[in-house]
A and B are shown apart, each in its own frame.
Chain A
Amino acid sequence: DAGVTQSPTHLIKTRGQQVTLRCSPKSGHDTVSWYQQALGQGPQFIFQYYEEEERQRGNFPDRFSGHQFPNYSSELNVNALLLGDSALYLCASSLGGAIKNIQYFGAGTRLSVL
């Protein structure tokens, strides 16, 4: 049973570019959340997707956008990259929106903005 998979593992971009990160949820899961983890910090919640809609959003500018596909996989898009966007981006999946459901995390995509 595959867990949460993210691609690519590492990515290098330059300031002002756009980037797309991808996430496949754990088998049987239908909800995907994205987090940004800066070096030496805890993860910060970006947003959550369920039934192909953004359901909850953290304190991130609208340069950060996402999408969920009918197969429950998800993309995170970041436009007009800033140096401060350099971080580990984590995807987490769970089943439904129930508060008791556990989130399973992928290993992340490390984005470096030069």
Chain B
Amino acid sequence: GNSVTQMEGPVTLSEEAFLTINCTYTATGYPSLFWYVQYPGEGLQLLLKATKADDKGSNKGFEATYRKETTSFHLEKGSVQVSDSAVYFCALRVGGGNKLTFGTGTQLKVEL
């Protein structure tokens, strides 16, 4: 079956620190990969995506590269801000249809 594994949180960083949230996956087929972000009291928002190997998704200073050889899609940001504090979910989709398979989420806390 399909599954996504994320590093456990919470991850606590100082403002302007470098962020990495690890994500690895297993999939029967060739997945598209996504990072979603969930702010308190809100729904999930798509942060970035990649649909084929070696693609790099990027948005708002965040980026992730689809690595087929290591089945990974790690999220990175060079300098985090307090406003980046949220829960981040890695997800995949295989084939047609809308079914997204999510990881358990990683909470990020950024302090001044």
Contacts and interface: CB of A to CB of B under 8 A. Distances in A.
Interface of A: 4, 31, 33, 35, 40-45, 48, 55-56, 58, 90, 92, 94, 97, 99-100, 102-108
Contact of B97 (A43, A55, A92): A55
Interface string B75-92: 000000000000001010
Given A99-B95, A100-B51, A106-B43, A43 B100 contact: yes
Contacts of B100: 35, 43, 45, 103
A108 B41 CA distance: 9
B44 interface: yes
B57 interface: no
26 contacts: A31-B98, A33-B99, A35-B100, A41-B104, A41-B105, A42-B4, A42-B89, A42-B91, A42-B103, A48-B97, A48-B99, A56-B98, A56-B99, A58-B99, A92-B44, A92-B98, A97-B97, A97-B98, A99-B32, A99-B93, A102-B46, A102-B49, A105-B36, A105-B44, A107-B41, A107-B43
Contacts of A40: 104-105
Contact of B43 (A4, A41, A42): A4
Contact of A45 (B32, B49, B51, B101): B101
Interface of B: 4, 32, 36, 41-46, 49, 51, 89, 91, 93, 95-105
A43 to B, nearest CB: 5
A58 B96 CA distance: 14
Contacts of A105: 36, 43-45
B105 A42 contact: yes
A100 B45 CA distance: 16
A48 B98 contact: yes
